[in-house]
């Protein structure tokens, strides 16, 4: 049987204050698959993705990506393979100019200065932000910061892109542009979101995290159709959004 691209086996995590954020998570992802992680606030979604990037957890080899086991010695390779876009772009963009920020990751991951700059320029082109390369990040709008944050991760050429609520606080046009950018990326994707239409548009498959456990793992469309599952996990379709339009 073919090994999954990413596998998480029986992963649990407890914060120092005793709060059990993750309980026996088992999850698999195929190469170039796109999965949405849905669930109410405080369900453990962000904790889960911080584990995927090797930031939280004790790296005890419960996670494996592309035959690479999570361990301290592999940590740099793991972080290069799994690109993580944080929820608040102000947490991510800290260098004096956009270009330098986008070059920060590639430089750390061993690309030469020339390669890092080339990667950064390509990544900024992908998110249509190249014109802002020399601007300081704090002078950008929120939507622009979000695009730069995505570019800053893409520049390291990750194989799996993990995004934490990428559509939060975006105006409809910025959200639309973001969806187009994500749809055009040719890499594996894990999308943590409360934006159910976005999950449906980008990810064929979704998992629901609730109370630190994966309660559902199914096709996004099937989950949205299942009223009981939606209610049990405090999920709701936006007002005016009707699934039967998609059926027609």
Partner 1 sequence: MDTSHSHHLEIHGNSILSELKPELKIFTTFCIVFSIAFLSLENNLFIFLQFFIVLYFLFISKIKVKTYFKRLSIDIPFILFALFLPFISKGDNKVMFEIFSVSVYETGFNEMISILIKITLCVSLAIVLTATTSNIEIIYGLQKLKLSPLLISILSFAIRYIDVFIDEFKRVRVAMKSRGYDEKGIKGLKPIAYASGALLIRGYERGERVYNSMLSRGFTGSIELKEREYKSSKSLLLFSTISICITIIDRVLI
Please give the residue ranges that form the binding site for partner 1 (CB under 8 A).
Answer: 50, 53, 55, 76, 79-80, 83-84, 86, 88, 90-97, 99-100, 103-105, 107-109, 113, 117, 136-139, 152-153, 156
Q: Which is nearer to partner 1, 160 or 235 (CB)?
A: 160
Nearest to 6 by CA among 48, 77, 68, 84: 68
CB of 94 to partner 1, least distance (A): 5
CB of 201 to partner 1, least distance (A): 26
User: What would the two tokens of residue 42 be?
Assistant: 């405080």
Q: Which is nearer to partner 1, 42 or 96 (CB)?
A: 96
Query: CA-CA distance, 107 to 90, in Å (whole number)?
Result: 20
Contacts 24+ apart (CB under 8 A), 58-65: 62/8, 62/9, 62/10, 62/11, 63/6, 63/7, 63/8, 63/9, 63/11, 64/6, 64/7, 64/9, 65/5, 65/6, 65/7, 65/159, 65/160
Half-sphere exposure of 136 (CA within 13 A, CB side): 3
Q: Which is nearer to partner 1, 84 or 230 (CB)?
A: 84
Q: Which is nearer to partner 1, 32 or 76 (CB)?
A: 76
CB of 225 to partner 1, least distance (A): 35
Q: Identify whether the C-beta of residue 200 lies closer than 8 Å to the C-beta of residue 173.
A: no
CB of 82 to partner 1, least distance (A): 8
Q: Which is nearer to partner 1, 11 or 230 (CB)?
A: 11
CB of 207 to partner 1, least distance (A): 21
Query: CA-CA distance, 78 to 162, in Å (whole number)?
Result: 13
Q: Which is nearer to partner 1, 140 or 224 (CB)?
A: 140
CB of 98 to partner 1, least distance (A): 11
């Amino acid at each position: 049987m073919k090994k999954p691209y990413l596998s998480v086996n029986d992963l649990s995590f407890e914060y120092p204050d005793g709060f059990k954020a993750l309980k026996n998570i088992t999850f698999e992802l195929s190469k170039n698959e796109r999965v949405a992680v849905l669930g109410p606030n405080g369900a453990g979604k962000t904790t889960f993705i911080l584990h995927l990037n090797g930031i939280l957890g004790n790296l005890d080899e419960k996670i494996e990506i592309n035959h690479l086991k999570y361990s301290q010695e592999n940590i740099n390779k793991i972080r290069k393979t799994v690109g993580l876009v944080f929820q608040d772009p102000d947490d991510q963009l800290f260098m004096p100019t956009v270009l330098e920020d986008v070059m920060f990751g590639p430089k750390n991951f061993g690309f030469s200065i020339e390669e890092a700059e080339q990667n950064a320029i390509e990544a900024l082109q992908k998110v249509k932000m190249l014109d802002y390369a020399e601007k300081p990040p704090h002078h950008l709008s929120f939507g622009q910061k979000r695009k730069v944050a995505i570019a800053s991760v893409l520049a390291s050429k990750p194989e799996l892109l993990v995004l934490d609520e990428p559509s939060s606080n975006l105006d409809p046009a910025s959200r639309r542009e973001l969806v187009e950018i994500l749809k055009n990326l040719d890499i594996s994707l894990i999308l943590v979101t409360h934006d159910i239409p976005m999950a449906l548009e980008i990810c064929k498959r979704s998992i629901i995290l609730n109370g630190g456990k994966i309660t559902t793992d199914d096709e996004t469309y099937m989950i949205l159709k299942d009223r009981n599952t939606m209610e049990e996990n405090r999920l709701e379709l936006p007002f005016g959004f009707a699934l039967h339009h998609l059926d027609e």
